[in-house]
């Protein structure tokens, strides 16, 4: 099977309000798919419909071939789910929570205890296994929720903002877990507000006002904004712009400490950069350094959302 998730024409209306608007989305088996979008974009609503927690107004959903909501019971067997809001029992201990959900999946006896021990170790929760879930720190809560989602070794993990409100080091650790799971073959759909996290995803879907406004690998999305990769080249001496502007797409030119700092846009930096350097060299220009600039997804994101809103307004008038 190629696709873990296939959604087409998915729509959800709350009264007159369209929370999810004719959404098409495909997630391949084995990939980490990041679902981004501002507050109220409709990410949670989409996820809930995908999991059969909410009925769609229109559209079809297939998860590993099972159509939702009709074959929801099959979906549940293969899916691990982490809700946006902490939804485990605060008056049960870490261990009791895992035990309870494990039993719901039919695990019992030694098999269950072994699995719980495994997860406690994997998620570094052994020391707090007898602590009530309500007394855990934010980061521990999220790890526990991940543990519960993993109890039955799901093929598909659906995580709704698993790292919201968690410290950067713990967020990093969390992504370590996810990458580990992904290596073992788990498909992951994850929503987040943190753009730096999105870099960890194989592919990203950008959602705004119920619509998917962009989709692709992080690299693809960045290129789409600037029409290519951004590269910073530092040349010795003050070079006049006219000398190079003829053959280069110069975004920005500055002088600093007797050096010239250029920002260039290349279609594909890895391919074009060596030949460009050769050419500069042949012109007698001394290249101090040449490095790709790391555009943050945040910039991409803001750009795309603004553009899409401008387009929507354009349509309206």
Partner 1 sequence: MRHIRITAVVIKELIQLKRDPRSLVMIAMIPLIVMLLFGVGYGGGTGKISIAVVNLDKGSLSWTVLDSIMKTPSVYVKAYANSIEEGRELVKDGTVSATVVIPEGFTEELMKGASTQVLVIVDESITTISSTIRNAMLAVTYKFQQELVRSVGGSSVELIYSSVYGPKVTNLEAFTPLVIGIVLQLVPTSLISIAICKEKERGTFEQLIMSPISRYDIIFGKLLAFFIATIADMLITLMVAVWIFDVSVRGPLIDAMVVSTLFLLGSLGLGMLISVLSRNQLQANQAAIFIFIPALLFSGALMPIDMLSPSARILANLTPMYYFVSAFRDIMIKGFGLWQITWEVFALSVYMVLMMVTAPLVLRLRVD
- Our CB check for partner 1 shows the closer of 106 and 241 to be 106
State the Rg of the chain over Cα: 24
For residue 240, the partner it binds in Mg ion, ligand ATP, partner 1, none, with Cβ less than 5 to 8 A by kind, is none
Among residue numbers 220 through 249, which ones bind Mg ion (CB under 5 A)?
none
| Window contacting ligand ATP (CB under 6 A); options: 36-44, 73-81, 128-136, 279-287 | 36-44
Phi, psi of 58 (to 5 degrees): -155, 160
- Our CB check for ligand ATP shows the closer of 57 and 84 to be 84
Contact call for residue 44 and Mg ion (CB under 5 A): yes
- Our CB check for Mg ion shows the closer of 84 and 308 to be 84
Among residue numbers 77 through 106, which ones bind partner 1 (CB under 8 A)?
77, 79, 81, 83, 85-92, 96, 99-101, 103-106
Q: Which of 11, 84, 155, 303 binds Mg ion (CB under 5 A)?
A: 84
For residue 41, the partner it binds in ligand ATP, partner 1, Mg ion, none, with Cβ less than 5 to 8 A by kind, is ligand ATP
- Our CB check for ligand ATP shows the closer of 19 and 159 to be 19
Contact call for residue 290 and ligand ATP (CB under 6 A): no
Contact call for residue 25 and ligand ATP (CB under 6 A): no
Binding site for ligand ATP (CB under 6 A): 14, 19, 37, 39-45, 84
């Amino acid at each position: 099977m190629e696709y873990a998730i296939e959604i087409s024409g998915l729509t959800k209306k709350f009264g007159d309000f369209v929370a999810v608007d004719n959404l098409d989305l495909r997630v391949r088996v084995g990939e980490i798919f990041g679902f981004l979008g501002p507050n109220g974009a409709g990410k949670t609503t989409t996820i809930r419909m995908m999991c059969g927690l909410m009925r769609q107004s229109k559209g079809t959903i297939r998860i590993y071939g099972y159509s939702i909501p009709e074959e929801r019971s099959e979906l549940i067997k293969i899916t691990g789910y982490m809700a946006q809001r902490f939804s485990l029992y605060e008056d049960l201990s870490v261990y009791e929570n895992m035990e309870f959900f494990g039993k719901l999946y039919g695990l019992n006896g030694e098999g269950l205890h072994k699995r719980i021990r495994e997860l406690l170790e994997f998620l570094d929760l052994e020391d707090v296994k007898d602590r009530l879930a309500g007394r855990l720190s934010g980061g521990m809560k999220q790890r526990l929720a991940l543990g519960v989602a993993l109890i039955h070794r799901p093929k598909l993990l659906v995580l709704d903002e698993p790292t919201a409100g968690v410290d950067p080091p713990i967020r990093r650790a969390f992504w370590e877990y996810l990458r580990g799971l992904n290596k073992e073959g788990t498909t992951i759909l994850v929503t987040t507000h943190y753009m730096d996290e999105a870099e960890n995803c194989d592919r990203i879907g950008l959602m705004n006002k119920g619509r998917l406004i962009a989709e692709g690998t992080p690299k693809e999305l960045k290129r789409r904004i600037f029409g290519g990769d951004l590269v910073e080249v530092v040349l010795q001496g003050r070079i006049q712009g006219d000398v190079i502007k003829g053959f280069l797409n110069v975004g920005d030119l500055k002088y600093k400490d007797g050096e010239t700092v250029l920002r260039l846009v290349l279609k594909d930096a890895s391919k074009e950069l060596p030949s460009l350097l050769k050419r500069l060299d042949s012109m007698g220009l001394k290249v101090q350094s040449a490095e790709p600039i790391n555009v943050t997804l945040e910039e991409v994101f803001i750009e795309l959302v603004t553009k899409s809103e401008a387009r929507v307004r354009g349509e309206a008038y």
